[in-house]
C-alpha cells in the first residue's frame, strides 16, 4: 500500500505501564506521534485515560485525566479531569466517536496501550476487528484479550524493560512493515551527520570533575582525595562514549546503556577510542532494535538485546583490536603539540595566542581548539590550549569590558558590560560579550589579538597549563603553576584593557570633534 496512513492511539496509563512511562502521558503520546511521522503515519484520533497512580491498585475515586487528539492543532490535549469513574464515562463517549471513524474508513490502524477491550475501548476494538485493521500494542493481558476478540494483531508485547521511545519505535516499525512504508527512526543519524564538537562540548563537566579532585588532592591537607581522583579518572571517557552514542541515535535507556558498555570496554583506547566506540554504539542501536522487531521478538527482549549488543560489540572491537591504535593516534597529536611548543616556547606560545581570536571568530574553536584541549586533559588533567583559552580569550575579553566600565564611549556601554565582565572573571565564559566592541573598533580587535599573543608568550615560556570554563581562582588551582598563570592572566587583561581604553579615548575625541559648536562645559558633561 502507498500513501499516508492514519492511526488511532487508545488506552490508559495502566498498571506496570504507569511505572514505565505511562505516568507521563504527554511524553508517551508525543513519542508515538513522532515515530509515526517518521513512517509517514498520521495520528487521526486518541483516547488515553491517565490516572494519578498505577491501575493495579486503582479505585473509582482516584484522580484521572482524558487525553484526546485535536485535529486542528495536531496535538494531544488534556480534556476531562475528575475521578477515574467519571473519566471512564467520558472515555466511553470518545470510544463511540472513534468506532464511527473506523467504520467510515477514516482510521487505518490502532495503537493500543494497556487498553480495556471490554470497557472504555470496547467499540473501537470491535470495529477494528470487524474491518481487519492492523493492531499493535503493549500490555500482556489486554493485548491477549484483544487478540481473542479476532483483532488483526501484528505486534504485541508486555511493558517490562521497555520505555516510551522503544515502544513508540516498535509500534511505528510494525505498522510501517505491515503497510510497506519506509521508516526512519526519529533522531537517528548517519555517520556524516555526527557532530564530534557537540560531543566534546557536552563532556567538559566530566573532565572538570576529575580535574577538580586531582587538583585538590595536590593540596597537603587534602591528599586523601587522590584515591577518589583515581576512581573518577574514567568518568570523562565513559561520558564521551555516551554522548557520542546519543549523537547517532537516542533510543532512551538503550542508547545510554550501550554507550556506557562501549565506553568501559574502549577506555584503554583513550579519547579517540571511546568516541569512535560510542558513535558505533549509537549507530548500531536503532539497527539492532529494528532487526529484532522485524524478527518478531517481543519489545522487552528487543530493548534488552539492543542495549547489550549495541554497546558490547563495538566495545570489544576497540578492546581487542583498535584501542591501541587510537591511543597511539592521540599520543601522536599530543607529542606533536609538545614538540612544536618546545621548538621555541615563547615564540610558539605567542603564535598560538595570536591565532586564538581569529580561530574562534571563524568558528573553529569547537572543531580545532576544543578537541586539542580535551586530548591534553586526558594526559595531564589540565591543558596548554586550556591556559590559552582562559588567559588569551576570557581574560582578554574581561580587559575589553573593564575598559567600557572605566571610560565608555556611550553611557549604555557601561550597563551592557558590567554583568558580562563578572561572567568572564567569575565563570570563565561569555567572551562573546566583547564582540560588539571589537566590531566597533579595529583597534580594540587588534588589541585583543595582541593581548592573547602576549599571554601565549608567557604561557609558552613558563610551560603553563590550566583550563577555561571556570572562575579565575579555580583556573589558578587547576594550573601547574598558580603564580605564573596569574601573571599570564593579568598580563592579558592589562594589555587588552589599555588598548581598549586608548581606543575609547580616540573614538570619543573623534566624535566630539564632529559635534556642533558647543560650550566647553557641555563637552565636559559628555565626557
Grid cell locating 329: 593516534
Grid cell locating 282: 549509537
The number of CA neighbours under 13 Å toward the Cβ of 150 is 9
pLDDT at residue 521 in the model: 44
DSSP string spanning 21-73? IIT-HHHHHHHHHHHHHHTTEEEEEEEEEEESS-GGG--TTSEEEEEEEETTT
Radius of gyration of the chain (CA): 31
Tell me the CA distances in angstroms from 188 to 25, 37, 144, 181, 380, one per residue in order. 23, 14, 32, 17, 35
β-pair partners for 77: 68
pLDDT at residue 365 in the model: 85
Q: What is the mean pLDDT of residues 310-327?
A: 95
Domain with CATH 3.40.50.9100 in the chain: 5-179
Mean pLDDT, the chain, as a whole number?
A: 87
Grid cell locating 34: 513522532
pLDDT at residue 526 in the model: 41
516 secondary structure, DSSP code: P
pLDDT digits (tens, 9 = 90+) for 444-493: 999 999 999 999 999 999 999 999 889 999 999 999 999 999 999 999 99
Q: In what order do the strands lie in the sheet with 5-12?
A: 75-83, 63-70, 41-51, 5-12, 109-113, 134-138, 152-157
Between CA 365 and CA 373 the distance in angstroms is 10
**Chain mean position to CA 392:** 28
Between CA 328 and CA 451 the distance in angstroms is 35
Show the CA angle centred on residue 34, arms to residues 28 and 35, nearest 5°.
95
In the block, residue with C-alpha cell 470496547: 122
pLDDT at residue 310 in the model: 96
CATH 3.60.21.10 for the 5-179 domain, yes or no: no
Are the beta carbons of 203 and 59 closer than 8 angstroms? Answer: no
Grid cell locating 44: 487521526
Q: What is the mean pLDDT of residues 243-257?
A: 89
Determine what percent of the chain is predicted with pLDDT higher than 90: 53
Grid cell locating 273: 577510542
Between CA 288 and CA 307 the distance in angstroms is 9
Amino acid at each position: 500500500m502507498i500513501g499516508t496512513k492514519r492511526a488511532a492511539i487508545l488506552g490508559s496509563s495502566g498498571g506496570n505501564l504507569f511505572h514505565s512511562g505511562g505516568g507521563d502521558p504527554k511524553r508517551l503520546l508525543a513519542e508515538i506521534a513522532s515515530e509515526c511521522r517518521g513512517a509517514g503515519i498520521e495520528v487521526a484520533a486518541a483516547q488515553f485515560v491517565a490516572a494519578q497512580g498505577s491501575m493495579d491498585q486503582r479505585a473509582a475515586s482516584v484522580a484521572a485525566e482524558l487525553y484526546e487528539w485535536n485535529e486542528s492543532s495536531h496535538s494531544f490535549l488534556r480534556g476531562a479531569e475528575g475521578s477515574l469513574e467519571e473519566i471512564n464515562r467520558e472515555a466511553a463517549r470518545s470510544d463511540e466517536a472513534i468506532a464511527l471513524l473506523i467504520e467510515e474508513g477514516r482510521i487505518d490502524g490502532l495503537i493500543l496501550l494497556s487498553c480495556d477491550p471490554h470497557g472504555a475501548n470496547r467499540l473501537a476494538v470491535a470495529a477494528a476487528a470487524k474491518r481487519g485493521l492492523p493492531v499493535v500494542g503493549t500490555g500482556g493481558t489486554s493485548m491477549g484479550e484483544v487478540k481473542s476478540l479476532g483483532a488483526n494483531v501484528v505486534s504485541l508485547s508486555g511493558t517490562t524493560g521497555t520505555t516510551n521511545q522503544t515502544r513508540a519505535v516498535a509500534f511505528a516499525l510494525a505498522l510501517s512493515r505491515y503497510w510497506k512504508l519506509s521508516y526512519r527512526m526519529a533522531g537517528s543519524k548517519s555517520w556524516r551527520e555526527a557532530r564530534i564538537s557537540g560531543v566534546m562540548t557536552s563532556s567538559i563537566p566530566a573532565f572538570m570533575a576529575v580535574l577538580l579532585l586531582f587538583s585538590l588532592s595536590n593540596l597537603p591537607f587534602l591528599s586523601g582525595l587522590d584515591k577518589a581522583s583515581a576512581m573518577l579518572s574514567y568518568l570523562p571517557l565513559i561520558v564521551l562514549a555516551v554522548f557520542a552514542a546519543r549523537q547517532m541515535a537516542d533510543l532512551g535507556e538503550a542508547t545510554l546503556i550501550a554507550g556506557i558498555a562501549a565506553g568501559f570496554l574502549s577506555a584503554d583506547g583513550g579519547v579517540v577510542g571511546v568516541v569512535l566506540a560510542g558513535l558505533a554504539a549509537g549507530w548500531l542501536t536503532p539497527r539492532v532494535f529494528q532487526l529484532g522487531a522485524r524478527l518478531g521478538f517481543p519489545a522487552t527482549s528487543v530493548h534488552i538485546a539492543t542495549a547489550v549488543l549495541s554497546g558490547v560489540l563495538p566495545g570489544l572491537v576497540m578492546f581487542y583490536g583498535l584501542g591501541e591504535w587510537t591511543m597511539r593516534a592521540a599520543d601522536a597529536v599530543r607529542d606533536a603539540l609538545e614538540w612544536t611548543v618546545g621548538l621555541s616556547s615563547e615564540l610558539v606560545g605567542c603564535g598560538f595566542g595570536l591565532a586564538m581570536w581569529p580561530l574562534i571568530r571563524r568558528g573553529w574553536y569547537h572543531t580545532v581548539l576544543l578537541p586539542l584541549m580535551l586530548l591534553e586533559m586526558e594526559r595531564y588533567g589540565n591543558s596548554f590550549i586550556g591556559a590559552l583559552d582562559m588567559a588569551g580569550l576570557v581574560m582578554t575579553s574581561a580587559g575589553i569590558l573593564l575598559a567600557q566600565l572605566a571610560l565608555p564611549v556611550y553611557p549604555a556601554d557601561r550597563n551592557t558590560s558590567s554583568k558580562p565582565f563578572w561572567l568572564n572573571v567569575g565563570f570563565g565564559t561569555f567572551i562573546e560579550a566583547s564582540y560588539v566592541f571589537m566590531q566597533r573598533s579595529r583597534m580594540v580587535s587588534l588589541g585583543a589579538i595582541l593581548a592573547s599573543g602576549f599571554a601565549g608568550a608567557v604561557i609558552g615560556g613558563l610551560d603553563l597549563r590550566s583550563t577555561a570554563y571556570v572562575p579565575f581562582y579555580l583556573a589558578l588551582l587547576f594550573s601547574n603553576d598558580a603564580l605564573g598563570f596569574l601573571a599570564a592572566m593579568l598580563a592579558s587583561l592589562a594589555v587588552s584593557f589599555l588598548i581598549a581604553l586608548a581606543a575609547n579615548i580616540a573614538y570619543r575625541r573623534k566624535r566630539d570633534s564632529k559635534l556642533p559648536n558647543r560650550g566647553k562645559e557641555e563637552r565636559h558633561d559628555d565626557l
